[in-house]
Every structure is written in C-alpha cells, then in structure tokens.
Amino acid sequence: MRLPAEPQTADSVDDALAISLGWRGRVDLPYIAQLLNTTTEDAIEMLGDKIYDDPVKGWVSAEEYLSGDILTKLAQARESAKLNPKHKRNVEALEAVKPPAIPSSEIRWQLGAAYIDPKVIRDFIFDELAQGELLGFKDRVRITWAPEVNAWGIEVVGRNAKFVEDTILTHHLIDRWSVTDETETVKYTLFDMLRAALEGRSISVYTFEVGEGGMRRKVFDPLATERVAQTIERLKSRFAAWMASNAEVRERYAERFNEMFNRWRDRVWDGSHLPFLGKVPDEIIALRPHQKNAVWRFIAKGFSYFAHEVGTGKTYTMIASIMEAKRLGLVRRAMMVVPKDNVTDVKTKFLELYPAARILHLDVPGKAEERRKILSKIVTTDFDAVIVTTESFGKIPLSPQFQREIVKAEIRKLESGIEREQAGGIGMRRRSSMTLRALNKVLRTYRRKLESLTEMAKDDTAFYFDT
C-alpha cells in the first residue's frame, strides 16, 4: 500500500492547524507557516484564538489549553503576565472557562474527606457531641492525618494523658457512643469508631472464649459488630448534619473543596484531523467519529480508557491508536494484552484495518531461559505490535531497577510524612502519634522490599518488560 506524502500546502488556517496536529501531533508553527506560505508571526496572527502560548509548554491548541487543570494554568498565566503582557489574553480566556464554584449546599460533607481539616473533627467532638461540656480538655486532644497511608490519629497529649483521655471517654455524652460485646470484655470507644469512619473501614468485633484444656480462642461477635457498624453510620450522619448547620465552617471548607476538586474542565476531543496512514480506505472500513476522537485522546494524553459499549469498535480504536502513536514517534513498540480466546480475532482485525502491519504473536514460556529467547524477538525486530495473552504478560516481570525507583519514590513520600508528623508532634513527649507509628510501619515494609530488589538487581541475565 502506497502511503500519502506529508502535505506541503493548506487551503485555510483551519486546514493548516488540523494538518499540523495530525501529521506532527502538535502545534508546529514553522510547519503551519510553510503550509500557508507565510511567516511564523503572520501564522500566529492568522490562527488567533485557535492557539495559545502556554507559559509552560509553548504554543498549543485552544482545545488543549482551555481544558484540564484550569486553576493551575490560571495561576501560571497570572504570574507570567506580570512579565509578559501578552499573557493577559491567557488570563482572560481561562477566567471565562473557569468552572463555576460548587455551592456548599451541594457538597457531601463526610468524615475523612481530604478537604476537611482535622481540627474540624475536634470541633465536632467537643462542640457537637459533648455539647460544650468538655471544652477545658479540647486543646489536649490532637487529631492527625497521614494521607500517605490514610491513617488518622485521635489521642490526648500532655501531662496525665491517660487520665484526661479516660475523663473524656467516660463522660456520659461521649460514653453513650461506646459499644461493648455481650461479655463486656471488649469495648470500642467514640475515638475508635471515629477513626474507623475517618479511614473508611469497618470494625469486626471478636471476643475470647476458654475452650477445652483452658485454651483461649478468638470468636467473632456478629451482634456487637453490627452495633459498631450502626454507630459508625450514626456518626457519619451526625457529622453531615452538623456541617450543614454550621454556616461559617461550611463556607470556609466549600472554598477549599472547590480549590482542590473543582479545578478541571473536560476537554472536547476531536480526532477528525488524523490521517491514519496505512489504514485501508474508508470505502472498506471507515472509523466513526467517536473512534477518531478516542484515538486523538490517547495520542494527546499518552493513555486512555476506552469504555465504549460492546459492538462500538473498541478493537479498531485500540489498533488505530497504536499505529498513529507509532507514526508520530510516541512509541517504539506496542504490546496488546488480550484474553487467550481473543488472540486470533484481534490479529485478524489488526490486518483488516492495517494490511501491511507487522504483527508478532507470542506465547511466553514460564522458564526464564526460554522466555529470554522468545522475548528477544521483540527487541531485535521492528514490529508494529506484539500480541500476548494475559497469561503470557504475567510472565514478563518489571526489572528490579524499575521497581526500585517506584519503591524509592514511595519511601520519599513516607519520609516526608514522618518529618511532618515529627515537626507537628510538640507536646507528645516520648510517645509517638498513631499516624507516626502507621507511617513508620509502612516505611519498614518498603525498606525491606527495597533490600530484596537490590539483591534481585544483581542478576543481569533476566529479560524484563521495561528493558
């Protein structure tokens, strides 16, 4: 099949931009100027509001710039406009498409939400649940959250901490939230159930019975477990109602909610400009608009989730995405991982859509030496796509070096969280906070994993997915 040459002229500005996006995958101003037989400066003026000068990425299409994380782009544009007045245009355009604020009445106020400060949970305990009767102890309670491991801590700090904690938890307004098992040997306090609600987990209640030979055995208590679950739900409802009635706090955190989560504008994807070189003519197989749009989304973002319904052409969409990404130099080799029963169908559809495509189908053996020989074909031959089954893909490991980088990144996050907890642990004396203990526990696990990967890295004879 003879492939068409890259266009050298365009009939209009719109055509020139579409050709640039389709053939170069970006706004290539010198190429657009060449297509229009003009200068780069004149091309920018002719394109007008179809493109924007992103202070971070350079010239991009309007559909790209006026979508995504609008609030971050707006902050960047405002900062850049202080030095470059031309970027005031960016500020005005981004302001016009900024998502409207979601009112507090439409926000779901839930325990453990990232947009609610831990101090609000303390206010809920003392101002709402204790009805102001324990305010003298309010400053003694420290509530912390480690987002790295989603661990919450509720604990009393300072002198006589155990006495103060018992005083709070046995107060009649607080103790009525406690749950005990049938034998009254296991008790879950308000703090226990609040932590479970904040962390989004359930609590299973177990008691101990003495069996034959005096051996104690653990026994699940379904009735107490159900009472705990009901109490947690009551706490969630009480918190939501309290937030709804507290206008000052609600409005303050509604602003925080909008800053954190209401900053995105969906992009309208239009893949009509893509040339799909090597595809059979539309008279044989024509990709539908939603398929072209999905391909363009994959190319622009580098990843995508094709959640189209059955029968809407997902396989063709994936195949076209691979071939267009390879044409633009965005990938060197592509691998399609499919169920074993679908291998023949996928290979057939690939050649239906791209008859000249070079495809390799592999059955990956379990033994390392045999696997190395088979997989070396991927490295030494320029295939357009490699099709493997899910079972075979599971036999191709990531290299220890790659895994080590992932683990080290997680370790850095945890160490940062530990530093934050230690800096905020004034008044904790020698006790480490609940969240600090949770962070250190996970950190130890990751460090053991890193040591294991370091040993694995000494074996340089294996074949890995990322090499």
Q: Residue 225 domain-assigned?
A: yes
Mean pLDDT (10-residue bins), the chain, 467 residues: 74 89 91 94 94 96 95 96 94 96 92 92 93 90 91 91 92 92 81 94 87 78 92 95 91 92 92 90 94 92 87 93 88 87 91 93 68 71 86 81 91 91 58 80 92 72 66
Q: Residue 152 domain-assigned?
A: yes
For the chain, helix, strand, coil in percent to 5 are: 55, 10, 35
pLDDT score, position 434: 83
What's the N-to-C CA distance of the chain in angstroms? 33
> Residues 119, 137: one domain?
yes
> Residues 121, 240: one domain?
yes
> Residues 110, 256: one domain?
yes
* Helix spans in 338-433 (H): 343-353, 368-380, 390-393, 400-423
Q: Residue 465 domain-assigned?
A: no
Q: Residue 464 domain-assigned?
A: no
> Residues 110, 73: one domain?
no
Position 407: which residue type? V
Give residue 80's domain range.
13-101
Q: Distance (Å, rounded) from C-alpha 154 to C-alpha 166? A: 13
The three-class DSSP label of residue 150 is coil
> Residues 134, 28: one domain?
no
Residue 185, classified by CB atoms within 10 Å of its CB into exposed (0-12), middle (13-18) or buried (19+), is exposed
> Residues 137, 214: one domain?
yes
> Residues 306, 231: one domain?
no
Q: Distance (Å, rounded) from C-alpha 78 to C-alpha 84? A: 10
CATH number at residue 298: 3.40.50.10810
> Residues 249, 110: one domain?
yes
The three-class DSSP label of residue 100 is coil
Q: Which residues, other chains included, contact 47 with Cβ-Cβ below 8 Å and sequence gap of 6+?
A: 13, 17, 32
- The dihedral through the CA atoms of 391, 392, 395, 401 has a sign that is negative
Domain end call among 374, 391, 408: 391
Q: Residue 350 domain-assigned?
A: yes
Cα 56 vs. chain centroid, distance in angstroms? 22
Q: How many residues does the chain have?
A: 467
> Residues 127, 192: one domain?
yes
Strand 335-338 with 264-265, pairing? unpaired
> Residues 136, 220: one domain?
yes
Domain end call among 45, 80, 101: 101
Position 439: which residue type? L
> Residues 255, 114: one domain?
yes
| Number of domains making up the chain | 4
What pTM value is reported for the model?
0.76
* Residue 397 per-residue DSSP state: P
The three-class DSSP label of residue 419 is helix
Domain end call among 68, 86, 101: 101
Q: Residue 274 domain-assigned?
A: no
Q: Residue 432 domain-assigned?
A: yes
> Residues 117, 250: one domain?
yes
Q: Distance (Å, rounded) from C-alpha 397 to C-alpha 280? A: 36
The angle formed by the CA atoms of residues 238, 239 and 243, to the nearest 5 degrees, is 120
Residue 390, classified by CB atoms within 10 Å of its CB into exposed (0-12), middle (13-18) or buried (19+), is exposed
Q: Residue 216 domain-assigned?
A: yes
Q: Give the orientation angle of helix 13-24 with respect to helix 29-36, to 10 degrees.
A: 140
CATH number at residue 78: 1.10.10
